[in-house]
Amino acid sequence: MIIPTRNLKSMVFELVVWGNFALFVSVFVKFLPLAVSYFHGIKFTPEEIEAGLLEKRLWALDLVSDTFYVMVVWFLVSCFIQKNLGEARIFPWRRKRIGIDECPRE
């Protein structure tokens, strides 16, 4: 069974768009452990330090330290999508609507 190139290309771009959206969501999800850590307070008591909360905060800070690089990759993939599809697909479920006059005739 041979899949037409146009359909395969559109499926690949659809996967890239959804993957890019997942990358976008992950940028915000990365801050959840830090928010939970700050929920325990800004400063820790000696008991909290012994319980390991300081290590968890340091881990959360390390987790968000590379957010800039994730945003750069997201931006570059968004530019790639914009260039190849002709539309900015930040949200994958939104597509450019074409009118009846613009439909390609085969």
The pLDDT tens digits for 4-48 are: 556 788 888 889 999 999 999 999 999 999 998 888 788 888 888
pLDDT confidence band for 3 (50 / 70 / 90): low
Where is pLDDT greater, at 106 or 42? 42
- DSSP string of the chain? ----HHHHHHHHHHHHHHHHHHHHHHHHHTTHHHHHHHHT-SS--HHHHHTTHHHHHHHHHHHHTTHHHHHHHHHHHHHHHHHHHSS--SSTT------GGGSPP-
pTM of model > 0.85: no
